[in-house]
A and B are shown apart, each in its own frame.
Chain A
Amino acid sequence: MLSFEAISLDTLLTLEADQLDTLPFGVVGLSAEGIVETYNATEAQLAGLHRDGVIGTHYFSVTAQCMNNFMVAQRFEDEAEIDAIIDYVLTLRMRPTPVRLRLMKAPRADRRFILIQR
């Protein structure tokens, strides 16, 4: 099951970069420090950015300041385990864009994921 709602954290961790690129929703994988480690083609396309310019940067400071709040970034700080879908508005290419976000974090893995569905 590779849908936005059903895909598991373990699956995301095992998929290769080119497999992540075929997913129809955005996938952003962050280190425990919030550094971007995974950035799939769909997300690069939606945000209008190149993967190379985003990987290695601090996601909530550089690319996604609008998620740097209690609704998203703070939850990754505060909660040991999350799997939640929330309605949100992102500023993709500076257009206010309604999206669904899926926040995923588990104690067994360092990498956290944000899935973005338009």
Chain B
Amino acid sequence: MTTDLEAENAALLQFLYACPAGLVEFSAAGAISMVNPAAMGLLMPIAGKPFVINLFDVMDSCAPELRNLVQHFSPPQGTVCDGHRIVTGRGERSTVLACSIVKLTQDRYVATLSDVTEQVARERRLKQAETWFASLLDGVDDVAVLSLDANGCIDAVTSSAARQTGFTDAELIGKPFEWFDRPDRASAMPLPGEAIAVAQRDGWYLHEGWHALADGGRYWCQRLVAVRDEAAGAAAGYTLVIRAVTRQGRDAADLRRMLTLDHLTGASNRAHFFETAERQLLRALRDGGSLALVVLDVDHFKRVNDEHGHAAGDVVLREVARRCEAELRPEDIFARMGGEEFVVLLPGTSLMAASAVAERLRASLAREPIDVGEIQLCITASFGCSALDTDPAASLAGLLAAADSALYSAKRAGRDRVALSNSDQAAA
């Protein structure tokens, strides 16, 4: 006969089995002691295999910062992170997870995991609208209004536009409004035509980014493209409203840094890399330019962690990121993919040019050892390159896979070297 206690126990287990959110209990080293099926269901595709034993190991490929967040959290108990976003996968069907971690004792943590992919896409649009309307309430002293024709070319301007940008009417009229975009590496701009296409579909499009000034400078602004006459069926034209955002410049810059940069190394994070790379790839395919990826992986990094501790490993990763970024152009994106793996996005670059960049990065790492406290470590990395000019049909996931397999041959050939993707050889 089952006792009340047994029945209650079974009911509790059933409750946990059926719980739609993932629950994981783990140690300070990431070893999983308890896990419910929903969590296992989310972790297995990331691990790529059903043997999920250590949370940090599984997440190392997409959220290496979890280990840092847990280790740097010094209070004896409390919330380590709340709704921390994790972008999984490598370009195709990226799932976004929200992860909250609570520290119970020195060696006992509980995490919740849930799939928020859909929600993130919806939020992005909502947030845009919200920012815009909130900012309108703060005063309308610095707003420029322009008129666009059905193709997005400026066909009329008000004096406010000249006041804000310094351009004369003649310099503005007839130009596509996107001509005045001045993107940099931290701000992904929409593709030409994208704003008009979305405005046509939804009635409006909102974007925040750098805009040109007549004196050669730039200013950060929010731009609303709104359909002028919806009743006429196909839009006859659009109203473009540009609002300079200086008021919360610092906060906004901090927020942007937080959302686009990797916690530990200051390199771009995965989410920012994928967002920018998708855009750049579409742009390259449309304009017929090239685009290259360089994947790099620090050689024998596990040895650094095992022999000198994770703190030394962290110093090495920060220095690798610093040296590499110093070698790159402002429009290149240097991002941390996970663990000791980084990726460089090189717009407008051929495979041969990418290999020269990779060689420069390799040399800058190998040239002198890295200071880690009292000791110096000789650090090298292996590189794999792929590019659109030799692989014109590739998707982002395809380019990444090609660069990955080149990286693998560089590792096999003895590390500390650059290898190029070669579709002919891959088939052999």
Contact = CB atoms under 8 A, between A and B. Distances in A.
Interface string A64-77: 11111101000000
A95 B2 CA distance: 23
Interface residues of B, number: 27
A89 B52 contact: yes
Contacts of A9: none
A50 interface: yes
Contacts of B53: 96
A49 to B, nearest CB: 5
Contacts of A93: 13
Interface in B35-71: 35-41, 44-45, 50-53
A88 B49 CA distance: 9
Contacts of A95: 33-35
B40 A96 contact: yes
B353 interface: no
A63 B41 contact: no
Given A96-B32, A96-B53, A98-B51, A69 B17 contact: no
Interface residues of A, number: 26
A96 B18 contact: no
B45 A62 contact: no
B40 A66 contact: yes
Contact of B37 (A49, A91, A98): A91
A94 B34 contact: yes
B119 interface: no
B50 A65 contact: no
Nearest to B43: A66
A67 B53 CA distance: 17
Given A49-B10, A91-B40, A65 B51 contact: no
Nearest to A50: B10
Nearest to B2: A50
Interface string A8-44: 0000000000000000000000000000000000000
Given A48-B10, A63-B37, A66-B41, 5 more contacts: A65-B17, A65-B37, A66-B37, A69-B45, A94-B34
